[in-house]
């Protein structure tokens, strides 16, 4: 079983729509959680950290459910520039290794 699993999508949404997707992680001892964004053939870039209480950054909202071991990302009022692959990332916390999901592809159309 992979450490982090994501729905690969693609999610094709019109501009202005809301899109949400989840990922699940297998190790209950995981401590840190992130969403990274990766554009085609570019490096991953941190979108946001995910905190237990849930957190929001502009149009992006992340939630963490430790009991069910899943993380979600919601994008409101989608922009064309939101088109990318979103990588769910988990860190055990006491070590250094990031475990990545395979990514969820989002395409926002005009």
Partner 1 sequence: DTGVSQNPRHKITKRGQNVTFRCDPISEHNRLYWYRQTLGQGPEFLTYFQNEAQLEKSRLLSDRFSAERPKGSFSTLEIQRTEQGDSAMYLCASSLPPDRVGDIQYFGAGTRLSVL
> Which of residues 60, 72, 98, 107 is near partner 1 by CB under 8 A?
98
> Which of residues 20, 57, 93, 109 is near partner 1 by CB under 8 A?
93
Binding string, residues 33-72; x marks residues near partner 1 by CB under 8 A:
-x------xxxxxx--x-----------------------
- Cα–Cα distance for residue pair 87/72, rounded to 1 Å: 11
**Sequence-separated (6 or more) residues with CB below 8 Å from residue 40:** 85
- Give yes or no for residue 4 binding partner 1 (CB under 8 A): yes
CB 35 within 8 A of CB 73: yes
User: What region does 58 belong to: left with phi over 0, alpha with psi -120 to 50, or beta?
Assistant: left
**Sequence-separated (6 or more) residues with CB below 8 Å from residue 54:** 61, 62, 63, 64
Segment lying near partner 1 (by CB under 8 A), choices 12-20, 57-65, 76-84, 101-109: 101-109
Q: Which residues bind partner 1 (CB under 8 A)?
A: 4, 8, 32, 34, 41-46, 49, 87, 89, 91, 93, 95-103
């Amino acid at each position: 079983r992979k450490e982090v699993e994501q729905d690969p999508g693609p999610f094709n949404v019109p501009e202005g729509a809301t899109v949400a997707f989840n990922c699940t992680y297998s190790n209950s001892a995981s401590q840190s959680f992130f969403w990274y964004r990766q554009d085609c053939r570019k490096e991953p870039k941190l979108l946001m950290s995910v905190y237990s209480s849930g957190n929001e950054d502009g149009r992006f909202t992340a939630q963490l459910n430790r009991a069910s071991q899943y993380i979600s990302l919601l994008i409101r009022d989608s922009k064309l520039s939101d088109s990318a692959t979103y990588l769910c990332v988990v860190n055990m916390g006491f070590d250094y290794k990031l475990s990545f999901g395979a990514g969820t592809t989002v395409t926002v159309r005009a």
